[in-house]
Amino acid sequence: MKGRVARLLALACLAALPACEDRKPRQEPGFTDRVVEKSDPSQTWIRRNDDLDPAQWLASKEAGRPLPAEDPAVLRIRKAFEAAAPKFLESDRMVANRTAQLLEMLAKDGKPESAAGLIEALASVVNSDRPKETYGELCQYYFILRHSGADGDTAAAQLRARYGNPPASAR
């Protein structure tokens, strides 16, 4: 029963985000020059027409204040997006939105994590040789595992087993 409630909660929360994809190129000319100061980092998510760098927005949201594009936290998230791009169907904007939502859910559950760490962990779950996966689905499964008591490494290992991507040390 407890697992069912957690799953329903996760589904309800994930359904709250806009599911539409913008399918714009991941990197546009001048994209990294955009500044998040135009937007409030407490903004719930990035809408499709917002003119924001998803990495900068997510890092700023996590920090609770606007960060410059060159901030190490922004650069780490941008690098995580690059690693995630060939593995997930969603755009950087949607990965940022889902990550922000998952961070909030985990924090409310007493299990805070970092944005870049989550993206990196979930990207490590997916085997590059297989078709792209849905990032939102992995977020849901990850939350359910964490809510059920698994730590981050255990949750990622269970997802790797499910998605057929053993850790690098086991290959």
**pLDDT tens digit at each of 171 positions of the chain:** 555 544 444 444 444 444 444 434 344 433 444 443 454 666 788 998 888 999 999 999 999 999 999 999 999 999 999 999 999 999 999 999 999 999 999 999 999 999 999 999 999 999 888 889 999 999 999 999 999 999 999 999 999 998 876 555 544
Nearest Cα neighbor of 77 from 89, 101, 93, 64 is 93
In the block, tokens 């944005």 appear at 115
Round to whole Å and give the CA distance between 78 and 85.
Answer: 10
- DSSP letter at 37 equals G
At 148 the pLDDT is: 96
Nearest Cα neighbor of 59 from 46, 49, 68 is 68
- The domain total for the chain is 1
At 45 the pLDDT is: 85
At 109 the pLDDT is: 94
Nearest Cα neighbor of 41 from 115, 121, 140 is 115
At 168 the pLDDT is: 56
Is the separation of the CB atoms in 119 and 81 below 8 Å?
yes
Round to whole Å and give the CA distance between 154 and 168.
Answer: 15
At 18 the pLDDT is: 43
At 8 the pLDDT is: 46
The residue segments making up the domain with residue 121 are: 2-170
**Burial tier of 65 (Cβ tally within 10 Å: 0-12, 13-18, 19+):** exposed
Cβ within 8 Å of residue 136, ≥6 positions away = 14, 17, 19, 90, 94, 98
